[in-house]
Structure 1
Amino acid sequence: MIFVTVGTQLPFPRLLSAMNDHATGLDEPVVAQTCSDDGKWPALECHGLLQPDAFARCFSQARVVIAHAGIGSVLSARRWNKPLVLMPRRHDLGEHRNDHQLATARRLEGSPGIHIAWEASDLFALLKRDDLVGAMEVIDPQREALLARLRDFIDD
């Protein structure tokens, strides 16, 4: 099963339309948290908003997760070790108030288990790959050094 989530704040029709177009060419169901109940995507099993337990079940059972470039999706993918394909919302298309999701995607590009679909056309190629691995936390030496300095400061 493929799980698609657009978060809980804003709909993301460009992502959902792309997934709806691709779903008929896939050999597995596509379940989507759409943030709205307008039913424009007949090839998807749509849910406006999922309760936390249903969200966790969908996320943990998915073969791959497709999401907007929200940090909650990244953390969930790492929690359940799921391959994650991010498609960032774009300000120039009226999908968000600024381009922070593009910045997030640029920062995460190349992270283990996280793949970026810069355009809707990138989704299908990524979904057809059989070598996607689960997202995992990467130990960053600079982050660890900062945390150590903060601990020392707090302890003093």
Structure 2
Amino acid sequence: MIFLTVGTQLAFPRLARAMNDYAAKHDEQVIAQVGGDDADLPNLDVRHMLPPDEFVDIFRRARVVVAHAGVGTILSARRYKRPLVIVPRRHALGEHRNDHQLATAQALVGLSGLHVAWEIEDLPKLLDGGALKSADGSTGSRHAALVDGIGQFIAAGGKGVAPARTTGIVRQKAVSRAP
């Protein structure tokens, strides 16, 4: 089973349509948490929103998780040791307010268990290739830097922070702003 999740804030029609097309050609169930997307997706088992316990259950049972490049989903894949294919939302396509998901994907390239479909056309090849590996649950320096950066962002209340690159991973550092 494949689990598609697009997060809770925004629909991701480009990814949902791509997975619907994929499911039409493959004999594997795709459970799709699509948020507010009301598109006709007949080849997916659509769930607009999921309670946390059901989300975790589906996540744990999935052969692979396909998602936007959201940090929460990336951390869940690490926690539950599931292979993750991310498709970053693109600002140029009107999918998000900026390209922070592209930056997240670029910063995490090479992380065990994480695979990036830079173009939507790359998705079937990644899902069919047999090279998907699970996250090893590593708490190495890249993982620690990610968790540290998220902690700093949360501690700052999401305000007054600017991205800084450190050891190849996006981290956050506080910046002062003049009134």
The TM-score with structure 2 as length reference comes to: 0.76
Amino acid at match of 2:121: S
Measure, in 2, the Cα distance between the counterparts of 1:137 and 1:107.
16
Question: Could you say what secondary structure the match of 2:59 adopts?
Answer: helix
- Residue 15 of structure 2 aligns with an amino acid whose one-letter code is L
Please say if residues 12 and 37 of structure 2, whose CA atoms lie closer than 8 Å, have aligned partners that are also in contact: no
- Taking structure 1 as reference, are residues 25 and 138 closer, same or farther at Cα in structure 2, changes over 3 Å only? farther
What pairs with 1:33-112 in structure 2 (closer than 5 Å)? 33-36=33-36, 38-112=38-112
Query: What letter corresponds to residue 114 of structure 2 in structure 1?
Result: I
1:16 aligns with 2:16: yes
Structure 1: which 4+ aligned runs deviate by more than 6 Å?
Answer: none
Letter of the 1:140 counterpart: S
**Cα distance between partner residues in 1 of 2:130 and 2:21:** 20
Cα offset for 1:27?
A: 2.3
Structure 2 equivalent of residue 132 of structure 1: 132
Structure 1 position 42, deviation (Å)? 0.8
Higher normalized contact order (CA 8 Å, seq sep 6+, divided by chain length): 1
Unaligned runs of 5+ in 1: 148-156
Q: Using the TM superposition, give the Cα deviation of residue 38 of structure 1 relative to its aligned residue in structure 2, in angstroms.
A: 1.5
User: How far is 1:37 from its partner?
Assistant: 5.4
What code does the residue aligned with 2:123 have?
L
Distance, in Å, in 1 between the alignment partners of 2:29 and 2:10 is 23
Higher strand share: 2
Of 33-42 and 57-66, deviating more is: 33-42
CA shift at 1:131, angstroms?
A: 2.7
> Which deviates the most, 3-12 or 128-137?
128-137
Q: Post-superposition shift, 1:39?
A: 4.4
Over aligned residue pairs, what C-alpha RMSD do you find?
Answer: 1.6
How many Å apart are 1:94 and its aligned residue? Answer: 0.5
User: Residues of 1 paired with 2:130 and 2:114: CA distance?
Assistant: 14
* Partners of 1:39 and 1:46 within 8 A in 2: no
Residue type of the alignment partner of 1:11 = A
Structure 2 unmatched ranges of 5 or more: 149-179
CA distance in 1, matches of 2:31, 2:10: 18
Quote the offset at 1:130 in angstroms. 1.8
- CA–CA distance in 1 between the matches of 2:79 and 2:52? 14
How far apart in 1 are the matches of 2:86 and 2:37? 22
